[in-house]
Amino acid sequence: MTKRYLVLADGSIYVGTAFGADTTTNGELVFNTGMTGYQESITDQSYNGEILMFTYPLIGNYGINFDDDESVTPTTAGVVVHELARRASNWRNQMSLADFLQQHKIPGITGLDTRAITKKIRATGAMNAALVDTKKQAQQFIDHHATKRRTNLLAQSTTKNAFPNPNTGLRIVVVDYGLKHSILRELAQRQCNVIVLPATATAKQVLNYQPDGVLLSNGPGDPKDVPQAIEMIQTVEQQVPLFGICLGHQLFALANGADTFKMKFGHRGFNHPVREIATNRIDFTAQNHGYAVAAGSIEQTQLLVTHKEINDQTIEGLRHKQYPAFSVQFHPDAAPGPHDASHLFDDFLENIASYQRQRRTATHA
């Protein structure tokens, strides 16, 4: 067994056993509280550049299959677990987690007290970290890389070219900021005829497809690192019904004059209770974000807060008071996680139908 070190920006060093790719890495260390769904999490582009630590003590016990990937090429920087399962036991298993990480050049470390490390992050906040193979490399990280922040995450996560996910229903343009495949699955189940555009798409390029609706996807990093999206959203929301998810929610807020901030350690897991303010309905939701919309910045905008996280009261949903546009911070597509909020895709399509009825009425008036 090969020794590997997890080193934190504060100088803490943890010794464990290497698995996955034989390489070093660095990135922000974050923790995920999900009891299952490690494959979906590792392949979620929202984890681009982050070292992902799982709080559940045994990871890899049901292996990897080719159906549950949320992206083709995962960009998670590294994986930290307490115990790596020695063998996988599931009828869908097609390869081990260790082999999967090796295939995608992602290093992992096992044998650490992930509970203690999680408590440290909760107390001090998410921080940069590295997975290295020698103490000399650990010191080099502390001396030279501990405070560096990655800003090119979106370019790695978005598609380079437009592509279709064809069907026979409403025409939906999805702007890809780090798109999860499960969003496409939800739209496909509703017969949506989808065109996926890169994150650099302009309003003109979006509207050239004459969409019935536009969806802004999830993605990694700080929403303020995506200034090109603001003008596009400001134009599109006035002409077409719009739905933002996760990073798309934050960009929707910024485009309408609200502000965002970096959270202490973020929300990453599948058991976050969210209250819909109008109905008091509670949904348990899947979440993966390190930034949130600043509550104090909403009053000056044309946005209405629709959802809040019950535990810390962060904003989880917004709706525009004038335009047919809304957004949520959580993942209604789940994958993994509870499907309580999947109805929001139906709400999006109903929003489109209502907008089209209003336009027809106005035309014939």
Active-site hit among 44, 212, 283, 333: 333
What is the spatial distance between Cα 217 and Cα 212, in angstroms, rounded to a whole number?
A: 16
DSSP codes of every residue in 137-158: HHHHHHHHTTT-----HHHHHS
User: What is the bridge-based pairing of β-strands 282-293 and 260-276?
Assistant: antiparallel
Residue 329 labelled as part of a binding site = no
Q: Give the residue from 199, 217, 130, 112 showing the smallest Cα distance to 162.
A: 199
Residue 90 labelled as part of a binding site = no
Residue 161 labelled as part of a binding site = no
Type of residue numbered 311? N
Residue 296 labelled as part of a binding site = no
What is the spatial distance between Cα 195 and Cα 211, in angstroms, rounded to a whole number?
A: 9
Angle at alpha carbon of residue 252, lines to 203 and 323, rounded to 5°: 75
Residue 152 labelled as part of a binding site = no
What is the spatial distance between Cα 199 and Cα 114, in angstroms, rounded to a whole number?
A: 35
Residue 244 labelled as part of a binding site = no
Active-site hit among 82, 267, 320, 331: 331
CA 148 to chain centre: 21
- Identify whether the C-beta of residue 108 lies closer than 8 Å to the C-beta of residue 83: no
What is the spatial distance between Cα 21 and Cα 31, in angstroms, rounded to a whole number?
A: 20
Active-site hit among 246, 249, 307, 340: 246
Residue 291 labelled as part of a binding site = yes
What is the spatial distance between Cα 138 and Cα 116, in angstroms, rounded to a whole number?
A: 20
- Based on the residue annotation, tell me whether 246 is a catalytic residue of this protein: yes
- Based on the residue annotation, tell me whether 333 is a catalytic residue of this protein: yes
Residue 217 labelled as part of a binding site = no
Handedness of CA 58, 69, 220, 312 (dihedral sign): negative
Q: What positions carry a catalytic annotation?
A: 246, 331, 333
Which residues fall in the annotated binding site?
46, 219, 221, 247, 250, 288, 290-291
* Binding site members for L-glutamine: 46, 219, 221, 247, 250, 288, 290-291
